[in-house]
Amino acid sequence: MNWLSWISDFFSSPDRRSGPDSIANRIGEHLAISGEALFYAALLAVPLGLLIGYSGRGAGLVTALSGTARALPTLGLVTLAVLLVGVGDTAVLIPLVALAAPVLLVAACEGVRGTDPDLRDAARGIGLTHRQVLWQVCVPAALPALLAGLRTATVQVIATATVAAYVGLGGLGRYVIDGLATRDFPLTVGGALLVVLLAVAAQLLFAALSRFALPAGLRKQRR
């Protein structure tokens, strides 16, 4: 089949091995953009989500807001961001953060809200302060939900970071956009395949993480 040979063409090209257009370099750029976006999204959304989840105030708003935010068209946001801040990292980070933040916000909020009320009550009753209840009881209880949210956000951001190339930045999107522009289909298909592989790899990484990084008492709960 045609596209199989495109893929082999893509991987056998010397340009993929070294230089700015090499696979290693593009994956590095892609991960850097994705990582940066996730970092800012988490910085913004997680503490806010934890607080809202703990206090229970504004939780309805969070759900409504995140639903709306998910409906935002990323490409439109990129264009808007370019108009607002000009071409550059920020123009890509804005839509990616807008994509990841609501997911993390809801995960943090719902994770904390899902803490067994009897458990919170007992924790208060034996003398934990609100801050201690949040950190020692609710955050651990929210970890599985947080990790799941982070996984969703990561996969989405990695898939969507392709748009960086749209405004002239690097990443795997370069292959896709450049391929389309020059009708170099092996380049487009190979780039798309790499994005998919990267997203799947991220998915697997988180599956392993939620298996080994969570405390044993949370992995298997009977509550």
The residues binding other proteins (CB under 8 A) are 118-119, 121-129, 132, 136-137, 140-141, 143, 215-218, 220-223
- Which of these, 171, 172, 191, lies nearest to 7 by C-alpha position? 191
- The least CB distance from residue 7 to other proteins, in Å, is 45
Q: Which residues contact 129 (CB under 8 A, 6 or more apart)?
A: none
Query: Token pair of 153, please?
Result: 């956000």
For other proteins, which is the closer residue by CB, 82 or 134? Answer: 134
- The least CB distance from residue 130 to other proteins, in Å, is 9
For other proteins, which is the closer residue by CB, 3 or 135? Answer: 135
User: Percent helix, strand, coil in the chain (nearest 5)?
Assistant: 85, 0, 15
- The least CB distance from residue 208 to other proteins, in Å, is 19
- The least CB distance from residue 200 to other proteins, in Å, is 30
Q: Which phi-psi region, left, alpha or beta, contains residue 88 (left: φ > 0; alpha: ψ -120 to 50)?
A: left
- The least CB distance from residue 96 to other proteins, in Å, is 32
For other proteins, which is the closer residue by CB, 14 or 217? Answer: 217
Rg (CA), the chain: 21
- Which of these, 138, 105, 106, 104, lies nearest to 121 by C-alpha position? 138
For other proteins, which is the closer residue by CB, 183 or 220? Answer: 220
For other proteins, which is the closer residue by CB, 14 or 125? Answer: 125
166 and 137 in contact (C-beta within 8 Å)?
no
